Structure 1
Amino acid sequence: MFNKLLTHLKKIDWIIFGCIILLIGFGLAVIYSVALSGGEAGFINFKKQCVFAVVGIALLFIFSFFDFHALYGFNKWIYAGGIGSLILVLLFGETVRGTRAWFEFGGFSLQPSELVKIVVVLALAKYFSAASYKINQLKHIILTGLIVFLPIILILWQPDFGSATIIFIFWLAILAIFGLNRKQIIIITFISLMLFATSFFFLLKDYQKERILTFLNPNISSLEQGYNVAQAIIAIGSGGLFGKGLGFGSQSQLKFLPESQTDFIFAVIGEELGLLGVIFLTTFFAVLFFRMLYWVRHLNNNFGLYIILGAIILFFVQMFINIGMNIGILPVVGIPLPFVSYGGSSLIASLVLVGIAESVIIHTRHN
């Protein structure tokens, strides 16, 4: 038993695992820093995030042990379970700021939309692995569109515009890899605009609409709807090269910067750890992505290949949007920074996906 465990551990890609641990450590340090001036609630969040990290890392190792091929056969049931969870949260979930997106369990919450991101990755990986050579045909675009639009519609119903956006962009990015022609781009753009317009006028809450309008009208007063982004930009700009030090950021510690443990944690990093902190953070992400790309190029199993490719795209899109929100080049849509921002559902779901990717690597090496 011990020898089997040791053999398994030797096959894990420790470069990927090391990058994940460094990113989680980065996040915990900043969450603790923000908690120093946040009272008891801030420290409770820090303690919860530590628990989430331990649980997530344990699940990473557990999923790495399982042969990922089993996910191929159970794909339909996994997808059905994901859709079912989105329906149940609409019926029985807790409502926070007008969004019904969480199940509450004794002080902890679960956000199904974070887990559904994994479900979508697996569903598309199975589909693409069977039809990758002709995926840019209109028929396959429509069929994959149906796979992603059902969860997107249910998520928009909550409404959670951020998670819906991530899933949609993830789908577009996968299709773009296969090369869409002009006609296909026009059709997808038209459908996207129709869906966005419907969501904007009939599903999104007022504060979500204001975030988008603020982005479209950047001249709006920083004391009105553009306050969050203005404070984030001030925080990042004031950090300089070396930052003000953990616990010494004026914007984050004096509470000028809202959502500093979640949406705007990147701004806290920029203020308290400076440009060097930002460089270290983005370097960890870059090494993670390039290492996963290495395996994409060396795998001969299409299903496993698309799982890892999907993980790369999903993490990159979330990272890009979160940083874009913080520096004012993208609208604020409530996207966490992967492995770094506070949030149990996001962290655990991300670590489970890494565990599945490790399973692909381990069993591909084995074969």
Structure 2
Amino acid sequence: MDRILILAQLLLMGFSVLGIAAGAPALMERHLLTLGVAFGGTLAAALVPPRWIIAQARWLYVLGLVALVAVLIVGRGPAGQEEVRRWFQLGAFSLQPSEFMKIALVAYLASFFSRRGTDYPIIGPVVAIGLAAGLIAIEPDLGTALFLLFLAAFILIVIGVPFRRLVAIGLLVTLIVASIHGVFLNRFEYITDRVDAWRVMNLDPTLLERWDPDRAERIRNAIYQPERARLVLRAAGPLGHGPSAELPTNLPERQNDMIFAVVTYASGWIGAGMLLLAYGLVFARGMQIATRSTGALSVMALGLTGYLTGQALMNVAVTMAIVPVTGISMPMVSAGGSGLLAAGLAFGVLHASARRIDLPEVRA
């Protein structure tokens, strides 16, 4: 196991326990079990040769695509939202295919560009990215769909895909995503409400006065969560209030989407800095693994690093109301079985990749 990665991962898991203890102590027993399963996934994935993952990348992607289609047919969503279908209910546990599609898409892109190069008519990646993001968007899970697009763009830019092809990919993927989910998006007002709530909070508070009373009330409801998160962050102070302190206000989704605010309140701004430092370690080590690897292994390490740290950055941005609420979790910290397991698997593949290159102080 890579010492730096395992240190960062254990730090993140520690902050995860702190966040649940402070925000949702009733979930602690279940959360510890889920964390154990996720860490077991790390240990198992670390034993799998990364080249085997690359060799099976197309099948992993196809399996993920089948799961995304199936969840739209037989899946379930939050209570009271019959039209939302995001996960399979397996007894007491649930499985969310979109979380694992992040890893499958990274592996597919790594496999493709290692075989074809970066300056190649790349209709395969266009269709792969567009279909995955489009199917996730109609669940609807627009936040995860957008993150998948950003992750793919990050990979393509860093590996050096020519600008003209980036433009073509962007236009074609946008067309695919829009054609798949455009007709569905109008059925879910809360998505546009979240964007308008962000506009009111950050750009123009007088917008509320221009809308009819019903719409203005919906926007006020959408503002409630990010506004409460900001209040919790401000009240944290430098040293925090400890895991047993009660939050100064009600904060919806405190164990998941808003876990950063809860961790900050418990450990203070200094603790929040340490949490971000842990992700910084993941980014630095992951990029080091990517730069010292070659071919598909390099691209896969790059993509998994972007997944773990980019999603964390987006979660922080949502909590601070820098971007609209997306419902996206913080990898290895937020509660949730599929998200934790997917993050654990991603860490495991990075551990396995580190073992196959010449890095100083890699092995524990």
The answer for the alignment partner of 2:285 in structure 1 is: 291
The answer for the alignment partner of 1:5 in structure 2 is: none
The answer for the alignment partner of 1:268 in structure 2 is: 262
Contact 1:242 1:275 in 2 (8 A): yes
Matched, 1:115 2:100: yes
Q: Distance in 2 between matches of 1:146 and 1:186?
A: 12
The answer for the alignment partner of 1:64 in structure 2 is: 46
Residues paired across the two proteins, number: 340
Q: Distance in 1 between matches of 2:246 and 2:91?
A: 33
Matched, 1:206 2:183: no
Which of residues 227, 233, 238 is equivalent to 1:236? 233
Distance change >3 Å, CA 362–CA 194, structure 1 → 2: closer
Matched, 1:245 2:281: no
Q: Distance in 1 between matches of 2:18 and 2:305?
A: 25
Q: Distance in 2 between matches of 1:293 and 1:363?
A: 15
**Aligned partner letter, 1:16:** L
**Aligned partner letter, 1:34:** G
Q: Distance in 2 between matches of 1:103 and 1:89?
A: 6
What secondary structure sits across from 1:109 in the alignment?
strand
Q: By how many angstroms is 1:326 displaced? A: 0.7
Contact 1:243 1:272 in 2 (8 A): yes
The answer for the alignment partner of 2:67 in structure 1 is: 85
Distance change >3 Å, CA 184–CA 94, structure 1 → 2: closer
Q: Cα deviations across residues 163-200 of structure 1 (Å, max 9, x unaligned)?
A: 11111111111122225536843872686388469746
What secondary structure sits across from 1:124 in the alignment?
helix
**Aligned partner letter, 1:242:** L
**Aligned partner letter, 1:262:** N
The answer for the alignment partner of 1:7 in structure 2 is: none
The answer for the alignment partner of 1:16 in structure 2 is: 5
Contact 1:89 1:101 in 2 (8 A): yes
Q: Cα deviations across residues 198-256 of structure 1 (Å, max 9, x unaligned)?
A: 746633622222112212332258843211111111111111211222221433xx5x2
Distance change >3 Å, CA 202–CA 22, structure 1 → 2: same
Of 318-327 and 45-54, the range deviating more from structure 2: 45-54
Q: Distance in 1 between matches of 2:150 and 2:223?
A: 24
The answer for the alignment partner of 2:212 in structure 1 is: none
**Aligned partner letter, 2:289:** W
Q: By how many angstroms is 1:363 displaced? A: 3.3
**Aligned partner letter, 2:318:** M
Q: Distance in 1 between matches of 2:24 and 2:177?
A: 39
Contact 2:106 2:300 in 1 (8 A): yes
Q: Distance in 2 between matches of 1:280 and 1:13?
A: 20
For structure 2, the residue ranges without an aligned partner over 5 or more in a row are 209-215, 360-364
Matched, 1:188 2:166: no
Q: Distance in 1 between matches of 2:118 and 2:180?
A: 34
Q: By how many angstroms is 1:356 displaced? A: 1.5
Task: Report the TM-score, using the length of structure 2 for normalisation.
Answer: 0.86
Contact 2:257 2:315 in 1 (8 A): yes
Matched, 1:317 2:310: yes
Task: Report the TM-score, using the length of structure 1 for normalisation.
Answer: 0.86
Which of residues 58, 61, 80 is equivalent to 1:76? 58
Matched, 1:129 2:114: yes
